[in-house]
Amino acid sequence: MDKLKRVLSGRDAEEPSGLGEVIDATSLGWGTRVKGFIACFAIGCLCSLLGSCLLWVPKKGLTLFAVFYTLGNIASIGSTLFLMGPMKQLKRMFEPTRLIATIVMLVSI
């Protein structure tokens, strides 16, 4: 059965040192990816909204806003890692057409 999986996935040759087993063990199913995306995105939106509400707290409001809004942005961006994977996400973020936007966003955070 494993041989059939390797042939159908395009990995006909054996991968050295059990790398194939590690890849199979760490890959997430589509349902798990969608659940992770929704959970992480909801947490990000909640943190951003909470940060916006805490902006009006006297004296500490600006600090609380900055912390929660930044955490919300990081969680929302991190939610897409569940859908496309970390390496694909980074490759797309640093494509020449998106490089300036990525740099501005990272510096802003």
What is the three-state SS of 26-45? HCCCHHHHHHHHHHHHHHHH
Is residue 22 one of the residues assigned to a domain?
Answer: yes
CA atoms within 13 A on the CB side of 86: 3
Chain centre distance of CA 106 = 14
Does residue 95 carry a pLDDT above 90? yes
Is residue 105 one of the residues assigned to a domain?
Answer: no
**Strand boundaries in the chain, DSSP class E:** none
The amino acid at residue 105 is M
**What pTM, to 2 d.p., does this model score?**
0.68
Range of the domain at 25: 15-83
Is residue 3 one of the residues assigned to a domain?
Answer: no
Is residue 36 one of the residues assigned to a domain?
Answer: yes
CB 43 within 8 A of CB 35: no
Domain count, the chain: 1
Does residue 26 carry a pLDDT above 70? no
Is residue 9 one of the residues assigned to a domain?
Answer: no
